[in-house]
Amino acid sequence: MPENHSNNEVENQRSGDGKSSGVPLHGPRGETAQRSTDREQNEQIEKLKRNVVIAVVISIFGPIVAILGVVFAGLQWDVARKALDDSQKAGVDAQKNTERSLVIAESQARSMKTLADANKAMADASKLSAQNSERIAQSGEHSAAFASESVRLDQRAWVGVRGIIPAEFEIGKPLKVGIIITNTGKTPALRVSYHKWGKFAPFGEPPPPEPTRHDTGDSGVRSVQVLQPNQDTILTVTSGWLVTQQHIDEVRAKGRYYFRARIAYDDIFGRTHRTEYCGFLNIDMRTLDYCDSSSFAD
């Protein structure tokens, strides 16, 4: 068998005598190859050791890291869930606060409306009270003015005609008539002045107005004096001509002979008053009657 023979030869070369037909093992090239092989084997061994160490570390710490990751993830979940719960709670609280704020705002609005209504009612009441006070004040003023006027009217001077002295209307004599004026008031009449005159007017004509220089009496003459309460004075109207039968016939058949007096005076309250008298001679030629108009007193 040739193959077995060859193998045996090779084996013998390697083990028995150290002799071989190949490259010697202990030659220079053999030693270099051997060292290279050993280095590679050592590197592979070191690499294998490192891989083993890494595998051991991973096998030891991998579960720990995984556990830590799970724990960290759980913590993150708890934190996230807590944040979510807090957020939900904050949202609920915010909604409650909003609802509470709305309720408070509505309550304040109602309170403000109630206060505004109350203020308006108070303003209306104040306005009404002011109007009532004004009316009361006006009424008081009117009452005071009325009381003052009543006192003035009661205390003022009142000058008027009290009577007539019978006329002297005789042929051959001047016509003379006396008008008696008096102060019937309780205080003096001040700055008393008067006008007096007489004039003939046909039947149907009104009493003569202001006197002229052709009229009978002291036309244009004024007298100024003080007239005390209950004091009399006589205004005498005297003609500047003598009575004739013609004058008497005129009075009896054609008209009337009028006598006028205008009196002005002041009371103690500083107000000016006026009294006017109008009378005409009767047919008896002595007495006078009042005119239907033209007499006045204030």
DSSP state of 270: S
Q: Quick one: pLDDT at residue 18?
A: 46
In 3D, which of 268, 253, 259 has the Cα closest to residue 234? Answer: 259
Domain range list for the chain: 25-155, 159-297
pLDDT band of residue 285 (cuts 50, 70, 90) is confident
Tell me the average pLDDT across 266-275: 94
Q: Give the residue-averaged pLDDT of 243-258.
A: 88
Please write the tens of the pLDDT for every residue from 182-219: 999 999 999 998 888 888 888 888 887 766 544 455 54
Between residues 70 and 298, the one the model is more confident about: 298
- Please give the pLDDT value at position 245: 92
Q: What is the pLDDT of residue 17?
A: 47
Is pLDDT above 60 for 229?
A: yes
Share of the chain above pLDDT 70, in %: 83
Q: Which CATH superfamily is domain 159-297 in?
A: Immunoglobulins (2.60.40.10)
Kindly state the greatest CA–CA separation across the chain.
Answer: 228
Q: What pLDDT does residue 269 have?
A: 94
pLDDT band at 28 (very low <50, low <70, confident <90, very high): low
How far apart (Å, rounded) are the C-alpha atoms in residues 213 and 216?
8
Determine phi and psi for 29, rounding to 5 degrees.
-70, -35
Instruction: Using pLDDT thresholds of 50, 70 and 90, give the confidence band for residue 1.
Output: very low
pLDDT at 157 over 90: yes
Residue 103 has pLDDT above 60, yes or no: yes
Residue 264's pLDDT band (boundaries 50, 70, 90)?
very high
Q: How far apart are CA 130 and CA 126, in angstroms?
A: 6
> 6 vs 185, which has greater pLDDT?
185
Residues in the chain: 298
Task: Look at the pTM and tell me if it is higher than 0.85.
Answer: no
Phi, psi of 63 (to 5 degrees): -60, -35
d(CA 155, CA 267): 9
Which pLDDT score is estimated for 271? Answer: 94
* pLDDT tens, position by position, 129-153: 778 777 777 777 777 777 888 888 8
Mean pLDDT over residues 154-158, rounded? 94
pLDDT of residue 222: 56
